[in-house]
Homo-oligomer: A and B are copies of this chain.
């Protein structure tokens, strides 16, 4: 039987992830992978899960295994409301909804807002998962300019003046792939710009808890609450496999987003939401998060030091105070794919930076390095191999 002719037009934009193909070598033995994008299993509160299960079974009994509200499990929404208030975001439990990972809200935003050809404004480079969520709705992307401090506000202002933009998507803190963070001054400008243009912004914030240096910066949501859908997750501070995301959005959008989610998965796992509720209510995050930071901080430091010390001239690492990634820009004319091949020959893998750009002409001299999955010694060896590869390429 022939199936191709059954496919909807929107599948044209849904191609197999090129990164996946390229990264297949990563699992080969002997390769140090700095290519990953996932938390260390050492960061999971393994000793806690049985305690949490016990609490959930006692407290919620069969309710933890039953169908539940599309909006989210009420005790979790209460806890997330408290968590958000600590981030300066005022949202009652009724104003907080749960999704199946952050991805769930990104898909729902695309479904709710995007007609074919509608424009989404993105940082450049940007998070790939957002592209794979939005692509099926056939948007066009407008790439905005960035520097080491993230999105340049003037570029946003120009973009909103020039185009009709349905949605702006940003990861303002410890961005994936660059690790960089928008300073407060730019956030204030961005808040004023989106208010001026009556624009909608998805502020995706998976990483802000993973701060290893410096002081927290307020979410853009706190500066322009009516224009921002604030999205976060427990995947980086509890367990990604439980697929718990959450968001705070203006009431009109929230009601629609719930309706969208109802058609997609009815609701997020009740049991996992109950575990997350107990994790937060028991204040385990407060004791566990410092352990995660103690695990990652020296890894980030080791990578920053090794890059600084070992990489040939012309390779520059973007400053970063947290998250999971460092971003390296190579010398003029560097081909990130050529370096990738040479690096794999030397026994180390990373993600070539071009894949994080919506414009196929950009990002060819860049790379994303992950430091959460390897220990300090492995990171040093990995960077050493990368430096050797870079030397071979130019030499």
Which of A's residues lie within 8 Å of B, judged by CB?
A: 1-4, 6-11, 14, 16-17, 38-39, 41-42, 44, 46, 49-50, 53-54, 57, 61-68, 100-101, 103-104, 107, 111-115, 118, 129, 132-133, 135-137, 166-167, 198, 200, 226-227, 235, 239-243, 250, 252-253, 256, 259-260, 262-272
B111 touches A136 (CB 8 A): yes
B4 touches A252 (CB 8 A): yes
CB pairs A–B below 8 angstroms (22 shown): A1-B198, A4-B252, A8-B113, A11-B112, A14-B263, A39-B66, A41-B63, A49-B65, A50-B53, A53-B53, A65-B241, A67-B235, A101-B266, A103-B263, A103-B264, A104-B265, A133-B264, A239-B271, A241-B269, A241-B271, A243-B265, A243-B269
A227 touches B1 (CB 8 A): yes
By a CB distance below 8 angstroms, the chain B residues around A250 are 1, 3
By a CB distance below 8 angstroms, the chain B residues around A62 are 41-42, 44, 46
A61 touches B46 (CB 8 A): yes
A57 touches B65 (CB 8 A): no
How many copies of this kind of chain does the complex include?
2
A101 touches B265 (CB 8 A): yes
Checking B17, B57, B64, B243 against A50 with a beta-carbon cut-off of 8 angstroms, the contacting residue is: B57
Which of chain B's residues has its CB closest to A224's CB?
B1
B260 touches A100 (CB 8 A): no
B16 touches A259 (CB 8 A): yes
By a CB distance below 8 angstroms, the chain B residues around A235 are 67
By a CB distance below 8 angstroms, the chain B residues around A53 are 49-50, 53
Measured CA separation A341–B200 after assembly (Å): 43
B14 touches A260 (CB 8 A): yes
Measured CA separation A285–B267 after assembly (Å): 24
By a CB distance below 8 angstroms, the chain B residues around A242 are 65, 269-271
Checking B8, B259, B264 against A107 with a beta-carbon cut-off of 8 angstroms, the contacting residue is: B264
By a CB distance below 8 angstroms, the chain B residues around A39 are 66
Measured CA separation A17–B261 after assembly (Å): 13
Measured CA separation A83–B272 after assembly (Å): 25
B8 touches A118 (CB 8 A): yes
Which of chain B's residues has its CB closest to A135's CB?
B263
By a CB distance below 8 angstroms, the chain B residues around A114 are 8
Measured CA separation A38–B250 after assembly (Å): 31
Measured CA separation A260–B133 after assembly (Å): 9
Q: Given A241-B270, A243-B269, does the pair A7, B113 have CB atoms closer than 8 Å? A: yes
A200 touches B65 (CB 8 A): no
A66 touches B38 (CB 8 A): yes
Q: Given A2-B198, A44-B65, does the pair A17, B272 have CB atoms closer than 8 Å? A: no
Checking B112, B129, B227, B271 against A272 with a beta-carbon cut-off of 8 angstroms, the contacting residue is: B271
Chain B proximity of A281: nearest CB distance (Å): 19
Measured CA separation A38–B227 after assembly (Å): 38
By a CB distance below 8 angstroms, the chain B residues around A227 are 1
Chain B proximity of A44: nearest CB distance (Å): 5
By a CB distance below 8 angstroms, the chain B residues around A44 are 62, 65-66
Which of chain B's residues has its CB closest to A4's CB?
B252
Chain B proximity of A262: nearest CB distance (Å): 6
By a CB distance below 8 angstroms, the chain B residues around A226 are 1
By a CB distance below 8 angstroms, the chain B residues around A112 are 7-8, 11
By a CB distance below 8 angstroms, the chain B residues around A115 are 8-10
B272 touches A269 (CB 8 A): yes
By a CB distance below 8 angstroms, the chain B residues around A104 are 264-265
Given contacts A11-B256, A49-B65, A242-B269, 12 further A-B contacts (CB under 8 A): A7-B113, A7-B256, A44-B66, A46-B61, A49-B53, A53-B53, A103-B265, A135-B263, A241-B270, A243-B268, A265-B265, A271-B272
